[in-house]
Amino acid sequence: MVTASAPGKVYLFGEHAVVYGEPAVPCAIGLRASVTAEKRDEGLRIEAEDLSLSGFTVEYDDDETNRPDIDVPNSLVDAAMGYVDEAVAQVREAADSPDAGFDITIESKIPLGAGLGSSAAVAAAAIEAGTRELGVELSKAEIAERAYQVENTVQDGQASRADTFCSTMGGAVRIEGDDCQRIDSPDLPFVIGYDGGAGDTGALVAGVRELRDEYDFAADTVEAIGDIVRRGEQALAAENIDEIGDLMNFNHGLLSALGVSSRTLDSMVWAARDAGGLGAKLTGAGGGGCIVALDETPETLTALEYTPGCEEAFRAELDTDGVRVESG
């Protein structure tokens, strides 16, 4: 029996613009999904616990066709189970053990469907746990590649490498097209606010595309986000946290211009800024979900806890480990 875990992520800079070839910088956060894999004779049994901060438990046995009785949208459960199914397929292929059976247990502190990369973390941790359980040790590069294949299969070929690479490698990473690399970063005192919702990623991406196709100034705005990312990399290398915050603020405004912010996201962003946070922006597709701010003091967390529309607020340091074996 092997337990592995992998972190969630936030976008420090560059979401949406990354779709058009601009660079982006996601950062792994110290909020993890753990996957335990134990060999069994055949088949697959998946048990999922605490898949979101709101808390729910799934007992799901794929020998049975009954859907568990839980208070979350089926599509989320379907999605989570789909990621595990595909991760196990990758494990079997990597270990050349097409018939290997597993009991898989998932525990995650990463809110599901909040844009924090929970599915990528589950995929990476499941691949690490499953292959180790079969006595095979993969390089991080191979785990990242296979985790990406998992997401890409589940997401019908639309996945970005950002989440899986970031979750596997940890730290701040730079994504530009298919080119992914870790970059230098100081410790970053993330504070995250979550409105409990999620935007429609497909519709949000399509909305940006329409604006960009229609208006040169929207295309320029996408390019300006890329320029922010390039300046942001310099600020990370220089460990200039104040400037990183300023760039996050600017990035958020440009995302707002592109139509992907929302009332609650802006409300949380302002709570963070007014509380003295060094910078605040939405993270991910937008339309709802999470904001990320930087604040070493307790002020932003407190402000978010008292902000109407903020369902959960928590701190998360920059994670520098990526996927790792916890036991076994």
Q: Is 306 in the site for a copy of itself (CB under 8 A)?
A: no
Q: What is the 3-state secondary structure (H, E, C) of 179-199?
A: EEEEECCCCCEEEEEECCCCC
Q: Is 41 a catalytic residue?
A: no
Which stretch of DSSP H or E encloses residue 324? Answer: strand 324-327
Is position 259 an interface residue for a copy of itself (rule: CB under 8 A)?
yes
- List the one residue from 38, 142, 227, 299 that touches a copy of itself (CB under 8 A): 227
The Cα 284–Cα 292 span in angstroms is 10
Q: Where are the alpha helices (DSSP H) in the chain?
A: 74-94, 118-133, 140-154, 162-169, 201-214, 216-237, 241-257, 263-274, 299-305
Q: Decide if 154 contacts 87 (C-beta within 8 A).
A: no
Is 147 annotated in a binding site? The answer is: no
* 118 labelled ligand-binding: yes
Whole-number minimum distance, CB 231 to a copy of itself, in Å? 7
- The residue (of 143 and 236) whose beta carbon lies closer to a copy of itself is 236
Could you tell me which stretch among 38-46, 81-89, 111-119, 265-273 binds a copy of itself (CB under 8 A)?
265-273
Helix (H) or strand (E) run with residue 280 in it: strand 279-283
d(CA 106, CA 143): 18
- Smallest gap, in angstroms, from Cβ of residue 111 to a copy of itself? 23
| Residue 256 is a binding residue for a copy of itself (CB under 8 A) | yes
| Residue 267, annotated as binding a ligand | no
Q: Quick one: which segment of 117-125, 174-182, 184-192, 214-222 binds a copy of itself (CB under 8 A)?
A: 214-222
Q: How far is the CB of 189 from a copy of itself (least distance, A)?
A: 22
Half-sphere exposure of 205 (CA within 13 A, CB side): 14
Phi/psi for 25 (5° steps) reads: -125, 95
Q: How far is the CB of 22 from a copy of itself (least distance, A)?
A: 11
Count how many Cα atoms sit within 13 Å of the Cα of residue 14 in the half-sphere of its side chain: 29
Work out whether 249 is an interface residue with a copy of itself (CB under 8 A): yes
CA nearest neighbour of 34 among 100, 124, 102, 113? 124
Cβ atoms of 102 and 89 within 8 Å: the answer is: no
List 50, 163, 195, 319, catalytic entry: 163
CB under 8 A: which stretch of 63-71, 99-107, 208-216, 312-320 binds a copy of itself? 208-216
Smallest gap from Cβ 186 to a copy of itself, in A, equals 21
Query: Is residue 30 close enough to count as binding a copy of itself by CB under 8 A?
Result: no
Distance, in Å, from the CA atom of 239 to the CA atom of 258, rounded to the nearest integer, reads 29
Stretch that binds a copy of itself, among 31-39, 123-131, 249-257, 290-298 (CB under 8 A): 249-257
Q: Considering only residues 217, 276, 297, 317, which one is a binding residue for a copy of itself as defined by CB under 8 A?
A: 217
Q: Which two tokens stand for residue 280?
A: 């605040």
Give 67: exposed, middle or buried? Use CB within 10 Å, 0-12, 13-18, 19+.
exposed
Spell out, one character per residue from 163 to 202, where the chain touches a copy of itself: x when CB under 8 A holds, - when not.
----------------------------------------
Instruction: Among 59, 62, 220, 317, indicate the residue that binds a copy of itself (CB under 8 A).
Output: 220
Q: Is 113 annotated as a binding residue?
A: yes
Query: Which residues, 6 or more positions from 298, have their beta carbon under 8 angstroms from its beta carbon?
Result: none
Q: Which residues bind a copy of itself (CB under 8 A)?
A: 211, 215-218, 220-221, 223-225, 227-228, 231, 249-259, 261-263, 266-267, 270-271, 273-274
Residues at the binding site for ATP are 111-121
Q: Which residues are catalytic?
A: 163
